[in-house]
Amino acid sequence: YVHCKAGRTRSATLVGCYLMSQHDKWTPEMAVDRMKAVRPHVLLHNKQWQAMRDFHKDLIGETKQ
């Protein structure tokens, strides 16, 4: 269980990164789609999207090394 005040941005970013780390082929968009299917009010802003993309880029780099 992960939650912040509204559970829309910060916690969703963290959960999205977790989902990508657990599912090798998932992109940020796929993680957000899954979260929104369960919790439709998830709302990521540019900074959260960028954090997820940066995390995804790092994950991909780890798998190539």
User: How far apart are the C-alpha atoms of 61 and 35, rounded to whole Å?
Assistant: 24
Catalytic member of 1, 2, 4, 20: 4
Distances (CA, A) of 47 to 9, 17, 23, 25: 10, 14, 22, 22
Is 17 catalytic? The answer is no
* Residues carrying an active site annotation: 4
